[in-house]
Amino acid sequence: MDSKKVKELKQALIKELQEVSTESNLEEFRLQHLTRQGTIAEIFAGLKELDADQKRIMGPELNALKKEINALFEAQKETIFQQKLKVAQDKEKYFDVTISKPVGHGSLHPYTRVTEEIQSIFMSMGFQVADGPELVTEFFNFTALNIPDDHPAREESDTFWIDHNRLLRTQTSTVQIQTMKHQKPPIAIIAPGRTMRNEATDASHDFMFMQFEGLYVGKNVSVANLLATLKSFLSTFFGKKVNLRVRPGYFPFVEPGLEIDATCPFCTKGCSVCKQTKWIELMGAGLVHPNVLKHCDLDPEEYSGFAFGFGLTRLVMLKYQISDIRLLHSGTIEFLKQF
């Protein structure tokens, strides 16, 4: 894949989209080109075969391609809807009580919008999207992640246990273990998904929430690699340069463990989002603990890696400045139609 082929693909997609005239054909176009298994996603997956210099060139070009095609898709979708609406309005001239009035069309949920944006950014950096089951065993959720037998997270007050060995995953880190168990390094994955914890529900907490994990395993991996990756991602996601602040933190599955803060993307002097501090706490991260590598049958003397995880729900709330987490799961039309 080179710049010429990207240009040719863009022209072909634009021409195909311009010829779409019905909702069913529009959906066929979306399924063929814009989904995780679509044409554009396949091209992003091919970035892993390129060297670093080629990735720096092709990554932004492919991001621009995806944004332009998505924008044209939405414009064509609106055009078809307006045409359908006009037909319905013309029919109203001959009033018939048996004919229902046209209703507004839906839009993507904020979770979907942010997830697709994050995936696009990381795929342009050579990462792949990984998935795993939400019902897991104690080994994948705790033991393999170096979480001690007496850790409070194992208690029923914090975790939804199905039986003595199975539970609803409390973190998407389980996907990291499953990937390392079945794939040899180098590994570069991101894992978005739902997690469940036995918590009381209020404006900032829920028993189900979305997480996003990242993992890179190779040789001679350092904290510098981790911070460079995160800084590049956050700056692209918020559309402006973001600086990081690193604090020591404890997570059983990484050593050293780090708490990552970023400069507030909404202000320079302090605001309600950052609580007047000019910094927002975003994620936990660190270098993969040797014990985790051993549980996955990887030699820590040969391989090293970094991992990071953040609440996708928190990023969505920050991105759209949503004040109550419960709105995201409410299904309230007045809330959702804003997006």
Locate the domains of the chain by residue range: 3-91, 110-336
Give the pLDDT confidence of 47-71 residue by residue, as tens digits: 888 888 888 888 888 888 888 888 8
Q: Would the pLDDT of 212 be above 60?
A: yes
CB 33 within 8 A of CB 14: no
CA distance 336 to 320: 12
At 46, is the pLDDT very low, low, confident or very high (cuts 50, 70, 90)? confident
Residue appearing with tokens 């991992």: 307
- Extract the tokens encoding 332: 């309230």
In the three-class reduction of DSSP (H, G, I as helix; E, B as strand; rest coil), residue 248 is classed as strand
Superfamily of domain 110-336: Bira Bifunctional Protein; Domain 2 (3.30.930.10)
Q: At 10, phi and psi to the nearest 5?
A: -60, -45
Strands 244-249 and 304-311: unpaired
Longest CA pairwise span in the chain (Å): 79
Give the pLDDT confidence of 235-283 residue by residue, as tens digits: 998 888 888 999 999 999 999 999 999 888 778 888 777 788 888 888 9
- Secondary structure of the chain: what % helix, strand, coil (to 5)? 45, 20, 35
